[in-house]
Amino acid sequence: MKGVHFHVAFVLLALAFTFASAFDPSPLQDFCVAINNTNDVFVNGKFCKDPKLATANDFFFSGLNMPGNTANQLGSKVTLVTVEQILGLNTLGISLARLDFAPNGGLNPPHTHPRATEILVVWEGTLYVGFVTSNPDNRLITKVLYPGDVFVFPIGLIHFQFNIGNTNAVAISGLSSQNPGLIPIANAVFGSNPPINPDVLAKAFQLDKTVVTYLQSRF
């Protein structure tokens, strides 16, 4: 009986590790080019076309050399290159982004990527970047980056990038998912649809309710 219990426990442990996987599935072929046809059926990723029908354009994107428009409230623009832009990224567990920042305060505000670690390299300008560790420490880890510098933001942690220079800044990010996801903290908390009950936010952030309703009106 002990042997039976051991085998049962082993199988359950193996299944637990399988279910706990939160990353893109390992490819079972050289590639799996996405096809935009779900017919009301959802899969972990996208459906795949016949590999024999793949072309070079399935693995190609052009235009990342073009500056993003930073004429907005935050003074930043993120240009994504995920599976939505390159269908050949499907199942490959990687994506890319170009980040443009206006001078003197362009900001990519605090946010998380629930499905990806991010590695960022500064191409132009000077960026103040950082992330916050999880509870109970909530430790802020920051660095000022210059052209050629590289910084890593661990998966799921709140992080930001801020242009502290008086010129434009440009960075390139690699992300360890074909679809890393994005949760801007302020938008998610104060701009949810429908809105979170202001009493909840007032107590959570130790703010006056009128301040909460004002912030909700801004998002």
Verify that 32 and 133 share a domain, yes or no.
Answer: yes
Residue 45's CATH number: 2.60.120.10
Question: Is residue 118 a known part of a binding site?
Answer: yes
Mean pLDDT over 25-39 rounds to 68
Verify that 44 and 128 share a domain, yes or no.
Answer: yes
Other beta carbons within 10 Å of 129: 20
| pLDDT band for position 8 (cuts 50, 70, 90) | very low
2 pLDDT exceeds 70?
A: no
Query: For the chain, what percent of residues have pLDDT higher than 90?
Result: 77
Question: Is residue 111 a known part of a binding site?
Answer: yes
Question: Is residue 113 a known part of a binding site?
Answer: yes
Q: Give the integer Cα–Cα distance in Å for 209 and 215.
A: 10
Verify that 121 and 201 share a domain, yes or no.
Answer: no
Neighbour-count burial of 17, counting CB atoms closer than 10 A to its CB (0-12 exposed, 13-18 middle, 19+ buried) = exposed
Query: For residues 125 and 14, which has the higher predicted lDDT (pLDDT)?
Result: 125
| pLDDT band for position 44 (cuts 50, 70, 90) | confident
Question: Is residue 104 a known part of a binding site?
Answer: no
In a domain, 2, yes or no: no
Verify that 104 and 191 share a domain, yes or no.
Answer: no
**Strands 34-35 vs 47-48: parallel, antiparallel or unpaired:** antiparallel
Give the amino acid at 24: D
In a domain, 155, yes or no: yes
Q: What is the pLDDT of residues 110-138, one digit of tens each?
A: 999 999 999 999 999 999 999 999 999 99
**Strands 76-81 vs 95-101: parallel, antiparallel or unpaired:** antiparallel
pLDDT, position 130: 98
pLDDT, position 5: 52
Q: Which domain holds residue 195?
A: 182-218
Verify that 119 and 152 share a domain, yes or no.
Answer: yes
Question: Is residue 108 a known part of a binding site?
Answer: yes
Q: What is the pLDDT of residues 140-197, one digit of tens each?
A: 999 999 999 999 999 999 999 999 999 999 999 999 999 999 999 999 999 999 999 9
Mean pLDDT over 94-99 rounds to 97
Verify that 147 and 201 share a domain, yes or no.
Answer: no
pLDDT, position 18: 44
Q: What is the pLDDT of residues 182-215, one digit of tens each?
A: 999 999 999 999 999 999 999 999 999 999 999 9
In a domain, 135, yes or no: yes
pTM above 0.85, yes or no: no
Verify that 44 and 122 share a domain, yes or no.
Answer: yes
Verify that 96 and 188 share a domain, yes or no.
Answer: no
Domain count, the chain: 2
Reduce the secondary structure of 51-87 to three states and give it as a string: HHHCCHHHHCCCCCCCCCCCCCCCCEEEEEECCCCCH
